[in-house]
Amino acid sequence: MSDFPGWPQEFAHRYREAGYWRGVTFAQMLEDSARRHPDNTAVVDRNRRCSYAELRDAARAVADGFRAHGIGRGDRVVVQLPNIVEFFETVFALFHLGALPVFALPAHRRAEIQYFCEFTRAAGYVIAAEHERFDYVALAESLDPRPQVFVVGDPGPFTAFERLRTAPVSEPDPPYAGDVAFLQLSGGSTGVPKLIPRTHDDYLYSVRASVPRCGIDADSVMLIALPAAHNFPLSSPGSLGALCAGATVVLAENPAPETVFALIEAERVTITAAVPPLAQVWLQALPNSTRDLSSLRVLQVGGAKFSEVLARRIRPELGATLQQVFGMAEGLVNYTSLTDPEETIVTTQGKPISPDDEIRIVDADDRPVGAGESGHLLTRGPYTIRGYYRADAHNATAFTADGFYRTGDLVRRAPDGSLVVVGRSKEQINRGGEKIAPDEVESHLLAHPAVLDAAVIGIPDEHLGERSMAFVLPRAGAEWPRPLELRGHLRDRALAGYKLPDRIEVVERFPHTGVGKISKAELRRLIAIEFENTKGN
């Protein structure tokens, strides 16, 4: 089996014939935008404004620097940068070389980064020295084995990113558009996060087709407030959509309302994207803000279900059109249309990008459900992967025999054909758009000497939609570990902060079921019920 499972020949042929896959790489896309709009502002951050011509030249120069360090076509490079111009210089440099960015998030810590580096056999790791008071150089020093490290800012013992900017000597052989361009992260439902191989052809199609759906043109100004590497702000239509259209990308250092509102006013931002809890925070801050937000035309919300109550407040309070986005790093993206009736915008999660996105809504036996009934969403199409990177065993169950991806989402179709997300069947916690695989956290808890068993579940939360809770069964004879100590233990294991359970309960026993072996999912359900019943006793 290939490390990068691809589309069967007949599908690849069909997607090319239909004009979805155009044989263009991301490096060529940037060259093309720079040719058409050399002087337009491409990317703005707190310190710099960079035109299209400058971004193209910087990407070429940095590519040469990477090459001088032995990084080339097919090599994996873990990129963990905050929202700064160097993020784009790095990824376009890697695209230029045909090297593959592995998109880590700033919130990831040693546990995740060590795994990405090891699993992808990374040749490089690109970081900013410090961000949000976290020392990434120290993280890099703790890696073993350690790829070459490139640092924006004070490099400590490593290579300064600035030193990568060398005068281009020769052009590298360009990659093929059918090649994998990068590895994106899956939210994960079991075990370690899975890596998602996306090709230039398939991803660029989803980006290009998203641009008109979201009303982007060369005059648009897009604010990126979510982490730039996440699939939503990267591609739906995200920064890549903006760069494809010759528009301007404005990078927010953090998503706080003060930061975001000031940038909207100063840069005359026309569109931005948020996860539901962030949209709520922005709404709450509006009455106390004196900033002029009148340039904002579209607020995209996605990553988790947006409550109808909040959705209804967007237009009257923000003066912008809401666009719901139901997408996944594996592929399929749905948008409500900017011209949909308000009822559709506030009650559905929209329609797929492509006429060739195949949607099946099925029961537990993969049989189609009746019209309007809810069921499991399966999908196949020109930008939905056919398999995760190096995960044959998992792929055997995550996809049907005929190549449909099992999204793990429960949906129904509204009468107009829009999809409505009604729930989830996968073992995943969606904490305000941040995805947590319960058994990844459980395995870290189990590493504590006093822990016999652990179950991590999602419980409803008004603000986040869901928050995480861990139940821990102590070993017989061991002193009961205190929740605080278990938190400390998880911190020492250096996993991303958003995965730390919001609450930890040490319990005497897990619920009895009458049957011998029960699934983790069932266990989590029973614990949740028992917890609800005993609450307040």
- Residues lying near ligand OOB in the complex (CB under 6 A) are found at 186-187, 231-232, 236, 302-305, 324-329, 333, 349, 407, 409, 421, 424, 430, 435
Tokens in use for 359?
A: 């949607």
Supply the minimum distance, in Å, between the C-beta of residue 227 and ligand OOB: 11
Q: What's the min distance (Å) between Cβ of 419 and ligand OOB?
A: 9
Smallest separation, CB 279 to ligand OOB (Å): 11
Nearest distance, CB of residue 93 and ligand OOB, angstroms: 24
Q: How far is CA 477 from the centre of its chain?
A: 43
* Closest residue to ligand OOB in the complex (CB): 327
CB of 152 to ligand OOB, least distance (A): 25
Which residue's CB is nearer to ligand OOB, number 159 or number 400? 400
- Comparing CB distances to ligand OOB, the nearer of 276 and 403 is 276
Nearby residues of 329 by Cβ (< 8 Å), 6 or more positions away = 184, 185, 186, 187, 196, 231
CB nearer to ligand OOB: pick between 28 and 280 = 280
Cβ pair 468, 485 in contact under 8 A: no
Smaller CB separation from ligand OOB, 236 or 280:
236
Q: How far is the CB of 153 from ligand OOB (least distance, A)?
A: 28
> Measured from the CB of residue 304, what is the shortest distance to ligand OOB in angstroms?
5
517 token code pair? 């072996």
The tokens describing 341, both together, are 């009736």
Cβ proximity to ligand OOB: between 80 and 186 the closer is 186
Q: Any long-range contacts for 401-406 (C-beta under 8 Å, 24+ apart)?
A: 403/7, 403/8, 403/11, 404/358, 404/360, 404/378, 404/379, 404/380, 405/330, 405/331, 405/332, 405/378, 405/379, 405/380, 406/376, 406/378
- ∠ at Cα 121 (116, 123), nearest 5°? 100
Give the residue ranges of DSSP H helices in 69-174: 85-97, 110-120, 136-141
Helix (H) or strand (E) holding 66: helix 52-68
Of residues 122 and 214, the one with the C-beta less far from ligand OOB? 214
The smaller minimum CB distance to ligand OOB, of residues 90 and 418, is found at: 418
